[in-house]
Structure 1
Amino acid sequence: MALLAGVIVAVVVLASLGGWRLVVAEMKQRVLEMLGPLGMVEQIDIGFSNVTLTHVRMRAPRDWPAGDTFRAERVALEFDLRSLLAKQVHFRNVTVDSYYLSVVRSVDGRMHLLPNLNQATREAEGQAPAAAKRANDKKFIDHVTLTRGTIEFFDQSVQKPAYRLLITDVGATVDHLNLPELTDATTLNMTGSIKGPSHTGTVSFGGWIKIASSDSQTHTTLRNVDISKLPLLNLEWVGLAGQGRA
Structure 2
Amino acid sequence: MNGAAASPAVPRRGRRALIVLGAVLALLLLAWQGAALALKRQVLAALGPEAQIGNVHLGLGSVVLEDLRVTAPKGWPGEDTLRAKRLRVEAELASLFSDRYRIGHITVEQGYLSMRRTRDGKLQLLPSLLGRSKKQDKDSGGRFALRIDQIELKDSQLDFHDASLKGRPARVRIEALDAKLDELDLPGLGGRSKLQAQGRIKGRGQDGTVKLAGWLEIATRESDLTLTLRDVDLVPLEPYLLKAAEAGVARGQVDLDLHSQVKQRRLKAPGKLVLKNLELRSGKGVGGTFMGVSRKAVIASLKSGGDRIDLDFTLEGDLDNPRFALNETLSVRLAVGMAASLGIGLVDVVKDVGSATGRGIEAVGDAVGNLFGGDD
* TM-score bracket relative to the smaller structure: 0.7 to 0.9
The residue type equivalent to 1:55 in the other structure is D
Alpha-carbon shift at residue 21 of structure 1 (Å): 3.3
Question: Which is higher, the Rg of structure 1 or of structure 2?
Answer: 2
The answer (yes or no) to whether the contact 2:133–2:187 under 8 Å persists in 1 is no
Alpha-carbon shift at residue 169 of structure 1 (Å): 0.9
**Could you say which structure has the higher strand fraction?**
1
The residue type equivalent to 1:210 in the other structure is E
Query: For the residues of structure 1 that align with 2:31 and 2:92, how far apart are their CA atoms?
Result: 19
The answer (yes or no) to whether the contact 1:111–1:211 under 8 Å persists in 2 is no
- Alignment partner of 1:88 out of 79, 100, 105: 100
Is 1:45 the counterpart of 2:45? The answer is: no
Equivalent residue runs for 1:218-229 within 5 Å: 218-229=225-236
- Alignment partner of 1:197 out of 185, 197, 204: 204
Residues 1:161 and 1:227: Cα distance change in structure 2 (over 3 Å): closer
Is 1:170 the counterpart of 2:177? The answer is: yes
Gaps of 5+ in 1: 123-128
Query: For the residues of structure 1 that align with 2:75 and 2:54, how far apart are their CA atoms?
Result: 26
The residue type equivalent to 2:218 in the other structure is I
TM-score after normalising by structure 1: 0.81
Number of aligned pairs?
A: 236
Residues 1:177 and 1:74: Cα distance change in structure 2 (over 3 Å): same
Alpha-carbon shift at residue 3 of structure 1 (Å): 5.1
**TM-superposition CA deviations, 1:45-84 (whole Å, max 9, x none):** 2223222222221111112112111111112222223433
Residues 1:131 and 1:242: Cα distance change in structure 2 (over 3 Å): closer
Alpha-carbon shift at residue 108 of structure 1 (Å): 2.0
The answer (yes or no) to whether the contact 1:104–1:111 under 8 Å persists in 2 is yes
- Alignment partner of 1:179 out of 169, 178, 186: 186
Is 1:116 the counterpart of 2:123? The answer is: no
Residues 1:200 and 1:20: Cα distance change in structure 2 (over 3 Å): closer
Residues 1:230 and 1:82: Cα distance change in structure 2 (over 3 Å): same
TM-score after normalising by structure 2: 0.55
Residues 1:63 and 1:184: Cα distance change in structure 2 (over 3 Å): farther
RMSD in angstroms over aligned alpha carbons? 3.1
> Aligned to 1:29, what secondary structure does the other structure show?
helix
Alpha-carbon shift at residue 214 of structure 1 (Å): 4.6
Residue number in structure 2 paired with 1:137: 144
The answer (yes or no) to whether the contact 1:139–1:179 under 8 Å persists in 2 is yes
Gaps of 5+ in 2: 1-11, 243-255, 261-266, 268-370
